[in-house]
Amino acid sequence: MDISSILGAAEGAVAQGLLWGIMTLGVYLTFRILNIADMTCDGSFALGGSTCAILVTKGVNPLIAAFIAFLTGIVAGLATGLMHTKLKIHEILSGILSMIALYSINIRIMGKSNTPLLGIETLMTKMQEKFSISPNVASFIIGIIFAVSLIAILYWFCGTELGSCIRATGNNEKMVRAMGVDTDKMKLLGLMLSNGLIALSGSLVAQQQGYGDVGMGTGAIVIGLASIILGESIFAYFNKRFAFYVTLLSIILGSIVYRLIIAIVLQLGLKSSDLKLLTAIIVVIALAIPVTKKKIIKQKVALAVEKEGN
């Protein structure tokens, strides 16, 4: 086992984890805050990558291209939200319909299934040329800048009246509606913001990997859920005792941990075709951790009560 190759893979995994972590923040907004399983994720991630790739090849500034990708993700989230809130289509089916439609839309945007960015200026290549650093370090710096900025913005937004209404809608929709809040609008806003972040992540990943592809979002929802559950399980102690921004930070760290696990296991000889199986195993283990903890606590309490009774 070559330690240097593992360290090299870990360096790239951390950079990838930061960029994919932005997607995980988007999934967290719907999955945890709104309590909606939004399947649009796979399509909106590829939408961001496809949009950014084609714009960059046309000479658009990479940062502006990423912002436009963010806006396209908002539109995708709006489409899902309207189907769910106005047409009363089930949330999961609404997301699936959007995801299917976005596959064709992404091919329409690029005119083909794949758009390479080799030799074209991106945020990462700009950073490399300016500071004479490696691609992984450039991706890491870009990831840190975006991740920290978005955590700060989301922390501020969730503390506003509007953000609080969105969070309350996920916790108790009936109570919020009784207080006069339009919960449909809150769901729309949440889905739009979520898919905007997911598309932004897709645009950054496309620039980092050097191409946009219609299939780059396949399995994104599972990756997002795995990262969220890992982050919540590993950093549960801090999440319960500190402010909301620590929870958001743990989501990013969960994405990094997920990527590190994948990178190390691949270096140890696992086939890339087994990654989906590994992801499923990681999710199952992460989900089992809190359940196991509760059982252990109950057993300890029961033993303590039994000793006191004796």
Q: What is the pTM of this model?
A: 0.90
Counting residues of the chain whose pLDDT is more than 70, the rounded percentage is 95
Instruction: Specify the pLDDT at position 240.
Output: 62
The one-letter code for the residue type at 31 is F
54, containing H or E segment: helix 41-57
Query: What are 254's two structure tokens?
Result: 């969960």
Instruction: Specify the pLDDT at position 4.
Output: 61
Phi and psi torsions of 213, nearest 5°: -140, 145
Rounded alpha-carbon distances, angstroms, from residue 15 to 56, 224, 253? 21, 16, 11
Dist. CA 193–CA 75, nearest whole Å: 10
Query: What are 86's two structure tokens?
Result: 């106005």
Domains, in order of start, for the chain: 3-276 (1.10.3470)
Q: Which of 24, 23, 25, 210 is nearest to 124 (CA)?
A: 210
Give the side-chain half-sphere CA count within 13 A for 171: 8
Q: What is the mean pLDDT of each run of 10 residues along the chain (310 residues)?
A: 64 89 93 89 94 94 95 96 93 93 94 89 91 89 94 91 90 86 92 96 94 89 87 71 80 90 80 79 77 82 76
Radius of gyration of the chain (CA): 21
